[in-house]
């Protein structure tokens, strides 16, 4: 086996619940070990004050919200895409700095899926610039095949049951 | 739609990585909202000092380790099964007390799967005794069908890629 410490590229994708949630669990576990972590949220609006954002503030975790709350349904697609590209620029700086043990790119699959960023270029950049000790965690539906191929750990969250299908609204502290 | 606040029965199962991790994310999110949370770990040994246990200590979260590190390969199956039954007794007390917003039963599917506890009796108890506001989160492979049927939210973590298959050891801060 190769050396024990190795920064992984981790992808949580799929239709099921638990993708961002699992990444939050990684943040908590890493924080528990005194590791340095950084989150960049794509898509989600800057104004959101979700449970995870409140927790991050309470823990003093570095947290950047780079989205405007829209995906492909944006009324201003160019601004939405530009925000995603800004987010990726920031992600590159954070990852390449080597200052973090774990960098979490929440919902980063969408800018790739919608073509706001070129998947091949992103995967290639990660291959050449991610420091060996840095874990990078990427979440979101529709993870492109090239990203999954580059990943060390990839899980598809497969939906068995969603509360929404049974008429139950999203619950604070659980889904946001 | 029914009332907004509703305690869910949540199950994360499957072969893929991210089950316990997602439940940790729920704990973090709930903690971020000032909710009262309690974890009971089945299976995992009392002596383990994983990243999540360290994080829980740092956050002051209530955390009970009720396992001896063994499942069906236990050299002392009766003791292992008895520990699981003690864990369930404690879980019942905690859930029925109504004092918690979220009770997390880590790897609780195994005592059901291995028959140390009767699934029907457990599901029936949850249906009748879980307070309406309390979320219960259950993780582990092999979730029995009756448990999935009773769940409000169920996700199967489907394996796409595990680092271990590529000769990469479990990484601290990520997998434990």
**Higher per-residue pLDDT: B48 or A97:** A97
B77: which strand partners? none
Residues of A in contact with B163 (CB under 8 A): 6, 8, 152-153
Query: The CATH number of the domain where A109 resides is what?
Result: 3.40.50.300
- Say what the pLDDT of residue A1 is: 44
Residue A24 is assigned to a structural domain of this protein: yes
Which chain A residue has its CA at the smallest distance from B149's CA? Answer: A161
Residue B126 confidence (pLDDT) above 70: yes
- Say what the pLDDT of residue B3 is: 52
Residue A96 confidence (pLDDT) above 90: yes
What's the domain count of chain B?
1
- Say what the pLDDT of residue A142 is: 97
Q: Which of B3, B12, B29, B51 to mutate to test the interface with A (most CBs of A within 10 A)?
A: B29
Q: Which domain holds residue A56?
A: 9-135
Interhelix angle A19-32/B19-32, nearest 10 degrees: 80
Q: Do A168 and B152 touch (CB under 8 A)?
A: yes
For residue B18, what pLDDT band results from cuts at 50, 70 and 90?
very high
Question: Is A174 touching B (CB cutoff 8 A)?
Answer: yes
Q: What is the pLDDT of residues B36-66, one digit of tens each?
A: 999 999 987 777 778 899 999 999 999 999 8
- Say what the pLDDT of residue A74 is: 76
- Say what the pLDDT of residue A45 is: 75
Q: Which residues of A121-158 are buried (b: 16+ CB within 10 A; e: fewer)?
A: ebbebbeeebeeebbbbbbbbebbeebbebbbbbbbbb
Helix (H) or strand (E) holding B82, with range, is helix B77-97
* Mean of all residue pLDDT scores within chain B: 92
Residues of B in contact with A1 (CB under 8 A): 167-169
Residue A38 confidence (pLDDT) above 90: yes
Question: Is A126 touching B (CB cutoff 8 A)?
Answer: no
For residue A2, what pLDDT band results from cuts at 50, 70 and 90?
very low
Q: Which of A66-80, B5-19, B43-57 ranks highest by mean pLDDT?
A: B5-19
- Using alpha carbons, select from A172, A103, A29, A45 the residue that is nearest to residue B29: A172
Residue A22 is assigned to a structural domain of this protein: yes
Q: Do A168 and B16 touch (CB under 8 A)?
A: no
Residue A144 is assigned to a structural domain of this protein: no
- Say what the pLDDT of residue B1 is: 44
For residue A17, what pLDDT band results from cuts at 50, 70 and 90?
very high
Residue A159 is assigned to a structural domain of this protein: no
- Say what the pLDDT of residue A164 is: 87
Residue A15 is assigned to a structural domain of this protein: yes
Percent of chain A with pLDDT over 90: 76
Q: What is the mean pLDDT of residues A97-126?
A: 97
Residue A48 confidence (pLDDT) above 90: no
Least confident segment among A124-138, B14-28, B56-70, B118-132: B56-70
Angle at CA of residue A51, ends A48 and A54, nearest 5°: 80
Structure-token pair, residue B135:
């979320």
Residue B136 confidence (pLDDT) above 50: yes
Query: Taking a contact as any Cβ pair under 8 Å apart, which residues of chain A between 91 and 110 contact chain B?
Result: 101-102
Residue B93, min C-alpha distance to chain A (Å):
22
In total, the C-beta contacts within 8 angstroms joining chain A to chain B are 216
Q: Do A2 and B54 touch (CB under 8 A)?
A: no
Residue B132 exposed, middle or buried by CB count within 10 Å (0-12, 13-18, 19+): exposed
Residue A42 is assigned to a structural domain of this protein: yes
Q: What is the pLDDT of residues A116-159, one digit of tens each?
A: 999 999 999 999 999 999 999 999 999 999 999 999 999 999 99
Q: Measured between alpha carbons, how far is residue B53 from residues A22, A31, B60 in Å?
A: 16, 11, 10
What is residue B10's three-state secondary structure? strand
Which chain A residue has its CA at the smallest distance from B162's CA? Answer: A153
Residue A1 is assigned to a structural domain of this protein: no
Residue B4 is assigned to a structural domain of this protein: no
- Say what the pLDDT of residue B63 is: 95
- Say what the pLDDT of residue A3 is: 52
Question: Is B66 touching A (CB cutoff 8 A)?
Answer: no
Q: What is the pTM of this model?
A: 0.93
Question: Is B67 touching A (CB cutoff 8 A)?
Answer: no
Q: What is the pLDDT of residues A18-32, one digit of tens each?
A: 999 999 999 999 999
Q: What is the mean pLDDT of residues B134-151?
A: 98
Residues of A in contact with B29 (CB under 8 A): 21, 24, 50-52, 55, 173-174, 176
Question: Is A8 touching B (CB cutoff 8 A)?
Answer: yes
Percent of chain B with pLDDT over 90: 76
Question: Is A146 touching B (CB cutoff 8 A)?
Answer: no
């Amino acid at each position: 086996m190769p050396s024990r410490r190795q920064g992984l590229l981790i992808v949580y994708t799929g239709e099921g619940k638990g993708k961002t949630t699992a990444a939050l669990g990684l943040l908590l576990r890493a924080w528990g070990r005194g590791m340095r972590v950084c989150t960049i949220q794509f898509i989600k609006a800057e104004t959101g004050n979700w449970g995870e954002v409140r927790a991050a503030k309470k823990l003093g975790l570095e947290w950047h919200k780079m989205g405007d709350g829209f995906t492909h349904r944006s009324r201003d697609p160019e601004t939405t895409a530009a925000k995603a590209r800004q987010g990726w620029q920031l992600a590159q700086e954070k990852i390449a700095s080597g200052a973090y043990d774990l960098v979490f790119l929440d919902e980063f699959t969408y800018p790739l899926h919608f073509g706001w960023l070129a998947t091949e270029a992103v995967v290639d950049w990660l291959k050449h610039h991610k420091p060996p000790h840095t874990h990078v965690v990427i979440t979101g539906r529709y993870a492109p095949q090239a990203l999954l191929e580059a990943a060390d750990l990839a899980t598809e969250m497969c939906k068995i049951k969603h509360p929404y299908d049974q008429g139950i609204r999203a619950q604070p502290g659980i889904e946001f």
